[in-house]
Amino acid sequence: MSKINEMDLQAKKIYFIQEFLRLNDEPLIDKLNSILKRERKMSFERALKPMSQDELERIIDRAEEDAANGRLTSTIELDKEIDSWA
């Protein structure tokens, strides 16, 4: 993206934020929020790619190797670690 286009994008964002902050119409704010959520979800879903059979098999092989070499964390150990975060 060129610098001019980036500046245009930044200007558009600032303009949108300024206009949004002036809104006092709660249903319109809710509608804009719904649109944003829907568009972000669709963008995320477009970026997802299915895993190939080879990728799946490599992950399974690595998991089996980790298990065979004791590179595992038990649920009890994991619970203790999570409790220590608080």
Give the residue numbers spanning the domain of 76: 51-86
Instruction: Give the tens place of pLDDT for each residue, 41-84.
Output: 999 988 888 889 999 999 999 999 999 999 998 899 999 888 89
pTM over 0.85: no
Shared domain for 65 and 42, answered yes or no, is no
For residue 23 the two structure tokens come to 């809104």
Q: Are residues 44 and 75 in the same domain?
A: no
Domain count, the chain: 2
The two three-digit tokens of residue 65, written as one number: 């190797």
| CA 32 – CA 22 distance, rounded (Å) | 14
Residues 86 and 60 in one domain: yes
Q: How far apart are CA 6 and CA 10, in angstroms?
A: 6
Are residues 70 and 29 both part of a single domain?
no
pLDDT digits (tens, 9 = 90+) for 5-43: 666 888 999 999 999 999 999 999 999 999 999 999 999
Contact 60, 53 (CB under 8 A): no
Question: Cβ–Cβ contacts within 10 Å for residue 32, how many?
Answer: 14
Residue 27 in tokens: 């249903």
